Amino acid sequence: MSQVSEQQKVQPLKAPKGVAEYVPPQSSRFLAVRDALTRQAHLAGYQHIELPLFEDTNLFARGVGESTDVVTKEMYTFADRGDRSVTLRPEGTAGVVRAVIEHNLDRGQLPAKLVYSGPFFRYERPQAGRYRMFHSVGVEAIGIDDPALDAEVIALADRSYRSLGLSGFRLELTSLGDKDCRPQYRAKLQEFLNKLPLDEETRRRAEINPLRVLDDKRPEVREMTADAPLMIDHLSPACQEHFETLTGLLDDMGVAYTLNPRLVRGLDYYTKTCFEFVHDGLGAQSGIGGGGRYDGLLSILGGQDLSGVGFGLGLDRILLALDVEGVGFGNDRRVDIYGVALGAEAKQKMALIINQLRRTGVSADMSYGDRGLKGAMKGADRAQARYALVMGETELANSTVAVKDMLSHEQHTVALPNLVTHIRNLLK
Ligand code: HAM
């Protein structure tokens, strides 16, 4: 028993504000969903890449864009003990491109196709579906500029959601042009915006990133920009062809999309294809994934002049979407076999049986401490075990075990020497 008096009692600490964490039993769903998503990427030939959670701050300043909210307001940046400025990764693409260049993957078989998953960090205002540490599964296909690859990546995201049983989402798609057509369009848009009676802050935004003004949700701004020129109508012939090939492929593959020429994403590196998956059951934080092509990112980060395309899927929001749609995904079973032994000697024997089952690859656990039959069987229930192995005085005396089917509640007796083979056959 604790010696600490009432006054000395320490307050339990809490997790930092706005982080998403997963504890049992929900954590098994987190793993199942993450693994199902990465599995779809593996099926399409993407290989795992594991990268640091922190990087040189310059990587994100250069890669994600100096004027983005992510870089100016949301980064977890600090000086390490060697006085280097490092940043917890706010997104995955810049790090992957950095690693591709550093490890010469861009000089091997192209495209380099990579998949990753893990936590990302953005100092945002926390709310439902928006966290300061969130989890994402991403892919990047780097080195080839081919609309067929854009279609592959988009179809992969679509298939990944569907493989979980999700259906209440839609895909929004547009093209942002490239270095040949975007500057001209940008000038045209600025000229249009300059004539409008915009407030000070919006005017400033129009100077830095005019496309973002088109994404303004306020009705009065919407109205004023209703006739604004749109990038999609000002694409160069090459970008136009790229986009038409992509949409043609998506049509043929049966991947539904809606064109949203006002689609703006919070990262600066996108060119040509840009997309977002939106789930309508999630309220304000409805983006369950998004991505696009990035022509200039490799060269900005000191690599060859090569293009890439990819996406990031928001694991936390996907889990929320599964709840909203009422889709049960994953298995809540903790172990297949749960041992219940009564008395010291039976418990010793059971520990050996459980150990042997684990050695042969069967998932197994047992009741510990001094529990009676009822309490110990509760453990089997909670573990959602398929079978309970019961050993009381009679079984001990006869060198047998009672095998209880936890679904049908039927019970049969098995001799100890045959037990492991018997259980393995039952679980086949
Ligand atoms: P992103 O759209 O910024 O893209 O993030 C990807 C997904 O992560 C979002 O669609 C959303 O579901 C989820 N997400 C983002 N921020 C939060 C947050 N604060 N809380 C919860 N979930 C969040 C990227 O990061 C790009 N790197 C995707 C990409 C890969 N583009 C090309 N390749």
- pLDDT digit string (tens) for 52-110? 999 999 999 999 988 788 998 999 999 999 999 999 999 999 999 999 999 999 999 99
Q: Say how many Å lie between the CA of residue 136 and the centre of ligand 1.
A: 7
Task: Count CA within 13 A, CB hemisphere, residue 186.
Answer: 16
Q: Is the CB of 292 under 6 A from ligand 1?
A: yes
pLDDT at 1: 46
Q: Is the CB of 290 under 6 A from ligand 1?
A: yes
Peptide bond connecting 25 to the previous residue in cis, omega within 30 degrees of 0: yes
Rounded to the nearest integer, the mean pLDDT of the chain is 95
Q: Is the CB of 287 under 6 A from ligand 1?
A: yes
pLDDT band for position 310 (cuts 50, 70, 90): very high
- Measured in Å, how far apart are the chain's first and last C-alpha atoms? 46
Where in 102-250 does DSSP place strands (E)? 112-121, 133-142, 169-175
DSSP classification of residue 159: H
pLDDT band for position 7 (cuts 50, 70, 90): low
pLDDT score of 6 more than 80: no
Nearest CA to ligand 1 atom 15: 314
pLDDT score of 3 more than 80: no
26-181+235-325: CATH class: alpha beta
pLDDT, tens digit, 9 for 90 and up, residues 201-260: 899 889 988 988 998 889 999 999 999 999 999 999 999 999 999 999 999 999 999 999
Outline which parts of the chain fall under CATH 3.30.930.10.
26-181+235-325
Element (H, E) at 244: helix 237-253
pLDDT at 4: 54
Outline which parts of the chain fall under CATH 3.40.50.800.
337-426
Q: Quick one: average pLDDT of 331-358?
A: 95
Element (H, E) at 77: strand 77-79
Per the annotation, where are the binding residues for L-histidine?
91-93, 122, 140, 265, 269-270
Residue, of 42 and 8, whose pLDDT is higher: 42
Where in 225-345 does DSSP place strands (E)? 258-259, 271-279, 287-294, 308-314, 337-341
pLDDT score of 127 more than 90: yes
pLDDT score of 268 more than 60: yes
pLDDT at 36: 97
Architecture of domain 337-426: 3-Layer(aba) Sandwich (3.40)
pLDDT score of 347 more than 50: yes
Atom of ligand 1 nearest to the CA of 318: 12
User: For the purposes of burial, counting CB atoms within 10 Å of the CB of 18, is it exposed (0-12), middle (13-18) or buried (19 or more)?
Assistant: middle
Q: Say how many Å lie between the CA of residue 171 and the centre of ligand 1.
A: 15
Provide, rounded to the nearest whole percent, the portion of the chain with pLDDT above 90: 90
pLDDT at 184: 96
